[in-house]
Chain A
Amino acid sequence: MVEWTDFERATIKDIFSKIDAGAVGAAAISRCLIVYPWTQRYFGSFGNLYNAAAITSNPKVAAHGKVVMSGLEAAVKNMDDIKNTYKDLSVLHSEKLHVDPDNFKLLADCLSIVVAAQLGSAFTGDVQAAFQKFLAVVVSSLGRQYH
């Protein structure tokens, strides 16, 4: 089981209280679709994703950003048992959505960049380490039910 220090717990809660979840979720998904264009294959029903402008103004992308962020908030509330919290989500992504689990890491990287841009100098090395550890646990939990 993952061990969290008090600093890490406080930092994760602090980040989520400071960021604008709706904006961060939408920005991270958009960024993924733009920077790693093969991820567009998972969003065939989202309509126009043909260029950066279309992606950043697509309402389904924004809505999905919110879905992802509420998933992350569930992890923040259950930091000591993210694996079980994410069991159904992992099955969904593996068996229904057929998402290559490497892509979870790409989305996590985009999330780090968006949060870094929002927090600016407050995103220190220690804060980054805690946030990336949290995201690594989330990514690992999402990949758990794949076989």
Chain B
Amino acid sequence: MVKWTEEERETIRSVWEKVDIDETGPQLIARALIVYPWTERYFGTFGDIFTTSAILSNAKVAAHGKVVLRALDRAVKNLDNMNETYAALSRLHYENLNVDPDNFRLLADCITITIACKLKAALDPQVQATWQKFLSAVVDAMNSQYK
């Protein structure tokens, strides 16, 4: 199980409270689809996601970004039992959605970059280190039900 110091818990909470799900959510999946275009294969039902302008104006992409961030909120609130919190989500992504787990890491990178654009200097190196530790724990939890 991952150990969190008081300082790390505080840092994660303070980064998270600066994130506006309605503002950041839509950017998140859009960024992944643009920067890592093979991820488009997972969103066959989303309609046109094949050009940057289509991606940025696609309502389903925007909505799904918010879904992902709301799930991340659960991780922030359950730092001490992330694996349990994400067990059902992990099974869903493995058994139903057949998502290659490498993509969780790519999405985590997109989350960090989107937050870096917003927080700028406030995402200093130590805050980045803690935030990336948090996201690796999330990625591990998403991997937990994969065999």
Contacts and interface: CB of A to CB of B under 8 A. Distances in A.
Contacts of B112: 113
A104 interface: no
B123 interface: yes
A52 interface: yes
Given A123-B113, A125-B30, A117 B35 contact: no
Given A120-B117, A123-B117, A35 B125 contact: yes
Contacts of A116: 113, 116-117
A109 to B, nearest CB: 7
B126 interface: yes
A126 B121 CA distance: 22
A117 B120 CA distance: 4
B117 A117 contact: yes
Contacts of B125: 27, 30-31, 34-35, 52, 55-56
Contacts of A118: 120
Contacts of B27: 125
A105 to B, nearest CB: 11
Interface of A: 27, 30-31, 34-35, 52, 55-56, 109, 112-114, 116-121, 123, 125-126, 128-129, 132
A118 B118 CA distance: 10
B117 A35 contact: no
25 contacts: A30-B125, A34-B126, A34-B128, A34-B129, A35-B125, A35-B129, A52-B125, A52-B126, A55-B125, A109-B109, A113-B116, A113-B128, A114-B116, A117-B120, A118-B120, A119-B117, A120-B117, A120-B120, A121-B117, A123-B117, A125-B27, A125-B34, A125-B55, A126-B52, A128-B34
A128 B125 CA distance: 20
